[in-house]
A and B are shown apart, each in its own frame.
Chain A
Amino acid sequence: MTNTSLKLKEADLAISDQIREAARRLLQQKEVELVIGFEQGTLPLRFTPCFIRNEEDVDRLVWNSFCSNNLAKYLIKRTEKVAVVAKACDVRAIVELIKENQISRDQVVIIGVPYSGMIDRRRIEAELEGKEILGVEEEGNNIILKGNGFTKVLDRNKYLCRCCEESTPANPVIYDILIGELVEEKVPCQSPEIAEFEAKSSDERWSYICAEISKCIRCYACRNACPFCYCQECFVDKTSPQWIGKTTNPSDTLIFHLTRALHVAGRCVGCGACERACPMGVDIRKLNSKLVGDVRELFGYEAGTSLEGVAPLATFKPDDPEGFMLNP
């Protein structure tokens, strides 16, 4: 089913070549048993995780702006030595997972890819009103989409993943092999979208959240795509006590998302894997981004930016802000 007409733009081709070269060397010299990266998917906007164990398969590896899955997910509790092709978000998740003892640093070779601007396929699809995309190419800042009887050129900067659009770091924080050059870094700050949302009235915010939550079908794609949702038994599955019901009752569904957001608070690197995985387009990051911002503001912690430092909810400062409390 592979969509054969793959044409990468030059810069991506160069990155892909370097990734392949690194992977080949690592496998050849038996430094790792496995390389996890991306290969071409079966649909025009899809690139998909791939697991390379043999040198002869190395050429399957590719890189472009659609390699959006967070591969840190696949590193948890691995026992073999593995190399991973990782963009900034992936590396940040890896860093945090190393701190949580889910990944062992010396077991992972990080092939870091500095990259600014992954593309969110859902934003592109939304633009096309259901028309099917049969081919895609990138040229400079343009995304050229081809379908039955149409060609459409879009400005890639308008279709970035929201985390790339916001000022999330673009360079891998740590790496063993760097592909290409480091790019200009951004300073993390509260996303404008969150500030905009917070400016709305309480009731407006409530109706927005309820409308979003009503779309949820409880398939748990958000949870399962999230590098930080690795609990052996998720709270939604517990029966004694049973925290929430299993139906799509709005209260249960909202509490699922709130609890999940709180559970990844201080750990969430804002990669947006949850949101991209959601088949129903639920605006899950609205919750996560808020907490990422609060953690930054209240506790001065930016998840995944350093191997030093303790997770914010595993520590405290005697003078933590308590303005939210009654008669503090």
Chain B
Amino acid sequence: MKIEKVLVETEDRNIKTFSLSFANGADKSDFNYVPGQFAELSVLGKGEAPFGMASSPTQEGCLEFTVNKAGLLTTALHNMEPGDIVGVRGPLGNGYPLEQLEGGNIVIIGGGFGFSTLRALTNFMLDDRNRGRFGDITVIYGARNPGLVLYKDELEEWGKRDDLSLYMTVDSANGDWNGRVGLIPNIVKEVAPSADNTYALVCGPPVMIRFTLPVLQELGFPSDKTLLSLEMRMKCGLGMCGRCNIGSKYVCADGPVFTLAELSKLPQEH
């Protein structure tokens, strides 16, 4: 696929969002995905690595990936420019269970870089064609500091909407940040969304997840309505190469989205 646009998301320039268009138009109709799924991005000569789709399938003709510069491949990606070609192998994984979520209220809890597929889901739900299928939408999003907040313009737009409640927070503020300061688990406690007919969707760093889950439990979210999108080192994305399994489940092929109920039956090796 062709890189159309590269947006630097964070002040430290370590996170960029890449908008890709299909170099071969025919692929467009074959690439049907749901929010929460991922794809293997590949740069020839460097290899491939998995990234969740940050765009919603309602944004036609384009795919977005938010990429944190960490290793060989991501560095190569960060050095690319509009017009460059990257390979996309996907969609892979299960994605968020849209049919199950339909009719319910949705609480989205995202921390840092893990927010990208939740952003995709939110945009999907906010689309005119879909908004009616979901109840109240609450988004709780946190970053380490204001400079690391992703999708700033879009969040500003969401903030103006009356069919979505947005709570943004940073772990520590600096300069002209007027929003909340505090760790996500505390903000969740503060916001205290009702668990009634509500799904909580969580994605973020392991430590955030560890402290958020008890809060959700306390608020009455049952484990089968608490969904997590997991991160593991993956390679093939097909459940073959053997590195991303948690117990008998492969995060790449059986996940990356699991309910807490499913996870509690698996070994705590993630």
Instruction: Find chain A residues with CB under 8 A from B72 CB.
Output: 239-240, 242
B75 within 8 A of A: yes
CB-CB under 8 A from A240, the residues of chain B are 71-72, 75
Q: State the B residues within 8 Å of A (CB).
A: 71-72, 75
A240 to B74, CA, bound (A): 12
Distance between Cα atoms of A240 and B78 in the complex (Å): 15
Bound CA span A239–B75, Å: 12
B71 to chain A: which residues have CB within 8 Å? 239-240
6 contacts between A and B (CB under 8 A): A239-B71, A239-B72, A240-B71, A240-B72, A240-B75, A242-B72
The 6 A-B pairs of least Cβ separation, nearest first, read: A239-B72, A240-B72, A239-B71, A240-B75, A240-B71, A242-B72
B43 to chain A, nearest CB (A): 13
Q: Is the interface of A mostly helix, strand, loop or mixed?
A: loop
CB proximity to B under 8 Å, residues A120-143:
none
Nearest CB in chain A: distance from B72 CB, A? 4
CB within 8 Å of B: which A223-276 residues? 239-240, 242
Report the contact-size class of chain A (Cβ under 8 Å from the partner): under 10
Closest B-chain residue to A242, C-beta based? B72
Rounded to whole angstroms, the CA-CA distance of A240 and B71 in the bound complex is: 8
- Chain B residues near A242 (CB, 8 Å)? 72
Min C-beta distance of B119 to chain A, whole Å: 29
Rounded to whole angstroms, the CA-CA distance of A102 and B16 in the bound complex is 42
Which residues of B lie under 8 Å from residue A239 when comparing CB positions? Answer: 71-72
Residue of A nearest to B72 (CB): A239
Least Cβ–Cβ distance between B91 and chain A, in angstroms: 26
Task: Give the distance in Å from the alpha carbon of A173 to the alpha carbon of B72 in the complex.
Answer: 46
A239 vs B71: C-alpha distance when bound (angstroms): 8
Q: How far is the CA of A242 from the CA of B76 in the complex (A)?
A: 14
| Chain A min CB distance to B236 (Å) | 15
Q: Which residues of A contact B75 (CB under 8 A)?
A: 240
CA distance A216 to B71 in the complex (A): 29
CB distance from B198 to the nearest CB of A (A): 43
Bound CA–CA A240/B76 (angstroms)? 11
CA distance A242 to B46 in the complex (A): 11
Q: Determine how close the nearest CB of chain B comes to the CB of A236; give it in whole angstroms.
A: 15
Alpha-carbon gap, A311 to B4, bound state (A): 56
Nearest B-chain residue to A240, judged by Cβ: B72
In the assembled complex, the Cα of A240 lies from the Cα of B75 at a distance in Å of 10
Q: How far is the CA of A239 from the CA of B72 in the complex (A)?
A: 7
CA gap between A242 and B75 in the complex, in Å: 14
State in angstroms the CA–CA spacing of A242 and B72 once bound together.
9
**A242 and B73 alpha carbons, distance in the complex (Å):** 12
Q: Closest chain A residue to B71 by CB distance?
A: A239
Give Cα A231 to B72, complex, Å. Answer: 21
Whole-angstrom CA separation of A239 from B76 in the bound complex: 12
User: How far is B45's CA from A179's CA once the two chains are assembled, in angstroms?
Assistant: 58
In whole angstroms, what is the CA distance A240 to B69 when docked? 13
Closest A residue to B76 using CB positions:
A240
